[in-house]
Structure 1
């Protein structure tokens, strides 16, 4: 970098911070405060530390910690004259200053803080140092520190306390339920969640290394020799594994073991993390912990640990516990596997519910040494599945080992091709794997764009063979892999149907579309232009139109390209199709027309464009009508635009019967208000012979019900399968709407028709078991609300569909 572009940060700001910390500590630290009475001594401390700190903030802090031990001026000055020159020297002094009586526990603390899988809670590390591997039981709660924070004294200057907030699970309540409650409270802050936040979180204290430089030091060669061996990678991991397993085995025989979260705070770490530590010890140090073998060969303790471990896995609750050999193979405990086999473990024993034993899991995880051990002991029952798993996860060395044993699996080639493992595919082909068995290897490689694997397979594969309902060319087109498509075409793949081109168009793979057209794909084939419109790629649509595609072509499902583009909201494509002569009023069966499609989707700009091109806003349609479509989706701006262009607000017919009914059913208050303002008849009938008030009441849209009543809706009008609004609201348990209707004069609370049949809102609520609504209706009856004479309309009402998209949702999916 040129010097002119470099900015010197300097250590000036750091020195200022260090000086401030030194002054503050001298003034406030009880063990240093005595020197405050001597300003010259304070200046001497500050000057000496600043001279030696050289920008090392941590160094200065540690020296202040060391000076706390100085009781008089001579010892203070001696300490100031012998300050360490570097952080490493300082850390070495700290280690050597640890009393011999505390050294074993200090080493254990440093092992955990340096090599643990994740930071431990303070209570957990306190229990870890209380474990005595020479005793049975190895852990006694009375050996814990009386004050957990005293643990900092073992490695003073090397560790620190940190705090964080952690989600707190309540005892006796399902964890998923608690999480759902918390999420609900977060999403509904008005419910007072902030005031009760403490029930979800707790402050967690952790012990950690004071700084990253401490960690770097502890794994370096600067550590004193008497500490270095204990902090060696494999030794430390074995120590953590031994301590964890010993704690587990003790917990298995204590009442506290059932409720391990609060009573045994170290247990959760032990249950889920001892295996990685043991794996390092076994694979690096080539030694197996006697504690691990003791756990694997003690049925009661093993079952206890497996129960804890399985709680975090996808095992069926009623399934059998996997065997020790399975777990040892799964986590790469090669020495443990060797010992378990010597002790007579069944090499072919099945695992748990879909887990087919040690060989399969070892192949899946890629533990070559363990696979070799198991094969050497005659493992064969699940060997074919083991090969498939090894191919699925790309474990080449394991695949080679299995093939050397003569094992083969018909799906192995497919799984290796799917994963893109070229070397494994080559191995399988060299061993005689049938490339045309099931034909799916070529298909998977093509869809994922693994060009070199496709090239390998095509040496013997049938390029046009079908696997399921597609062949390789179609898969490659769907994935948009131009190079693979080109390769397949060079090898003679046929494009005599439209599927490949349609897939490329829908997935918006322009380069693939160009290639297929150059190779003779039929631009006039069914649905090609429709799929391009559905995909929303303007360039592809333009390419097809230039190639002669019919802009008014009928699709297989009676859709028109303009309708598809309008529904998808692709304004540029709509404009392009109109410029090419698309029929703006074309109607296609269930789909209606373009104006209807755009209105339902709320695409205001497209609606405006279609109207400008002459689309008929009140054209009779089979299912919808533009205004009804927009109303059913709550698109107020589109509704307003259509009304401004002459849409009839009281037009009846279609899927919902009327625009007001559609908006009321959906609960779109603003649209309902607009329609009423523009003259919509509040009593107009809609679906199931119901009016708008019935629809809004049935769906529980309180604001819409209130609006309709304010505009003169008759609360007691009789029609439809629910007969009136009160019964409709009662049938779905909408208490607030029921109350609103009663206040507006609804009086069909309890009724007996002309044939003596009980048919009322109260009966409906009782049948549904909705006590809240029943109480409201009973209170109304007590206040004199009765019934009105009516004809017998009782029949089993149809279940509300809750549709918002109606036929559009079905029609779009059918393309």
Structure 2
């Protein structure tokens, strides 16, 4: 059947002129799904990893509406109270741990034989790594991925064996170790980058993220000497917590569990409470738009805009964040005015 033209058009329209992607409006997405489900009965909607979604309550509202219309769903998820409450009578089945163990073993073999660095290890050492990771994986693909990523950076058999003997017990421990290894001088860059990656409105280009790491609320100019000499350095600083897609040139948190870790952990030098972080991003965006370099004359031509975007890459993102904060402040002011009348 292929992808319906209306769906392709909606996603094409969501791509900004700068090349960045913005999220599809949830109401628009819901409408499209309903339309095509109605046109092609019977239909089963598959939701894979529902517990990994950012807006689980919103998805649950969508589920309630669709279930009332008779739509059938197949959902995979870790145990989650909110999801369970929405689907109290759903038929449940558990995936056997043995199947996960087999898949994990295959994944390890694939990495050991095809990863450019890991494949250079002697066969005996590969067997040692495989057996150790399979024994301690406890069904966690992401944990195994993190350990292999770390091992691939090591240069000697001695270092690899030492790492295997000191494997972190949990995924959270892996992330904590990653953060605690960041050089003290790089912590401010890591904090800024992870804050933006956690709460940005849409995925950021690499140079946009690098620019965001040097911003301060209220600053009227960007300090050129504070900029990273190479935007890719932010990837080295963040380590396993960030993922770079070289095809789209976008950076995101490497896994949904990273967002959970950053939002809840008290074992690292910084934390990311949602409301203050959204405010910080919005304030930095507004300050960026008020940069002294933009005060002399408007960006009237396409060439001037292109030049500005090259030198100031966050210009592609800042207006959206600034507008969002302005709208929120206006709404708050109206609510306060309405309240004061009583």
> Which TM-score band (shorter chain)?
0.5 to 0.7
Per-residue deviation, 1:76:
1.8
Q: Specify the SS of the correspondent of 2:177.
A: helix
Question: Is contact 2:179-2:268 (8 Å) kept?
Answer: no
Residue 174 (structure 2) aligns with: 90
Residue 368 (1) aligns with residue 340 (2):
no
Alpha-carbon distance between aligned partners in 2 of 1:43 and 1:254, rounded to the nearest angstrom: 65
Q: Specify the SS of the correspondent of 1:160.
A: strand
Question: Is contact 1:92-1:224 (8 Å) kept?
Answer: yes
Q: Which structure 2 segments of 5+ residues have no match?
A: 1-86
Residue 226 (structure 1) aligns with: 269
Superposed counterparts of 1:89-488, under 5 Å: 89-131=173-215, 137-140=221-224, 144-162=227-245, 204-220=248-264, 222-228=265-271, 231-250=272-291, 251-253=293-295, 258-259=304-305, 260-276=308-324, 330-332=327-329, 367-369=334-336, 371=337, 398=338, 401-402=340-341, 404=342
Residue 20 (structure 1) aligns with: 106
Question: Is contact 1:126-1:148 (8 Å) kept?
Answer: yes
Change (3 A) 1:121 1:90: same
- Scaled by the length of structure 2, the TM-score of the pair is 0.62
Question: Is contact 1:120-1:207 (8 Å) kept?
Answer: yes
Alpha-carbon distance between aligned partners in 1 of 2:333 and 2:218, rounded to the nearest angstrom: 36
Change (3 A) 1:50 1:254: farther
Per-residue deviation, 1:54:
1.3
Question: Is contact 2:217-2:280 (8 Å) kept?
Answer: no
Alpha-carbon distance between aligned partners in 2 of 1:210 and 1:97, rounded to the nearest angstrom: 18
Per-residue deviation, 1:60:
0.5
Change (3 A) 1:125 1:6: closer
Q: Deviation string for 1:735-789 (max 9, x for gaps)?
A: xxxxxxxxxxxxxxxxxxxxxxxxxxxxxxxxxxxxxxxxxxxxxxxxxxxxxxx
Per-residue deviation, 1:366:
7.2
Length, aligned pairs only = 246
Root-mean-square deviation (CA), in Å?
Answer: 3.1
Per-residue deviation, 1:51:
0.9
Per-residue deviation, 1:64:
0.9
Per-residue deviation, 1:261:
4.4
Q: Deviation string for 1:365-417 (max 9, x for gaps)?
A: 77322x1xxxxxxxxxxxxxxxxxxxxxxxxxx2x643x4xxxxxxxxxxxxx
Per-residue deviation, 1:273:
0.8
Per-residue deviation, 1:90:
1.2
Alpha-carbon distance between aligned partners in 2 of 1:331 and 1:9, rounded to the nearest angstrom: 44
Per-residue deviation, 1:55:
1.4
Alpha-carbon distance between aligned partners in 2 of 1:119 and 1:367, rounded to the nearest angstrom: 31
Alpha-carbon distance between aligned partners in 2 of 1:82 and 1:119, rounded to the nearest angstrom: 34
Per-residue deviation, 1:237:
2.8
Question: Is contact 1:113-1:209 (8 Å) kept?
Answer: yes
Per-residue deviation, 1:116:
1.7
Q: Deviation string for 1:165-216 (max 9, x for gaps)?
A: xxxxxxxxxxxxxxxxxxxxxxxxxxxxxxxxxxxxxx64211011111111
Per-residue deviation, 1:129:
1.6
Q: Specify the SS of the correspondent of 2:313.
A: coil
Question: Is contact 2:245-2:251 (8 Å) kept?
Answer: yes
Alpha-carbon distance between aligned partners in 2 of 1:136 and 1:88, rounded to the nearest angstrom: 38
Per-residue deviation, 1:226:
1.8
Per-residue deviation, 1:254:
7.1
Q: Specify the SS of the correspondent of 1:208.
A: strand
Question: Is contact 2:286-2:318 (8 Å) kept?
Answer: yes
Question: Is contact 1:159-1:208 (8 Å) kept?
Answer: yes
Alpha-carbon distance between aligned partners in 1 of 2:226 and 2:298, rounded to the nearest angstrom: 16
Alpha-carbon distance between aligned partners in 2 of 1:160 and 1:256, rounded to the nearest angstrom: 36
Q: Specify the SS of the correspondent of 1:70.
A: coil
Change (3 A) 1:204 1:78: closer
Question: Is contact 1:139-1:247 (8 Å) kept?
Answer: no
Per-residue deviation, 1:72:
2.5
Q: Comparing both chains, which one has the higher relative contact order based on Cα–Cα distances under 8 Å and sequence gaps of 6 or more?
A: 2
Alpha-carbon distance between aligned partners in 2 of 1:31 and 1:254, rounded to the nearest angstrom: 51
Question: Is contact 2:180-2:268 (8 Å) kept?
Answer: no
Alpha-carbon distance between aligned partners in 2 of 1:12 and 1:128, rounded to the nearest angstrom: 44
Q: Which structure 1 segments of 5+ residues have no match?
A: 164-202, 280-326, 334-361, 372-397, 405-815
Residue 115 (structure 2) aligns with: 29
Q: Deviation string for 1:101-127 (max 9, x for gaps)?
A: 211101101100111222222221122
- Scaled by the length of structure 1, the TM-score of the pair is 0.28
Alpha-carbon distance between aligned partners in 2 of 1:13 and 1:32, rounded to the nearest angstrom: 25
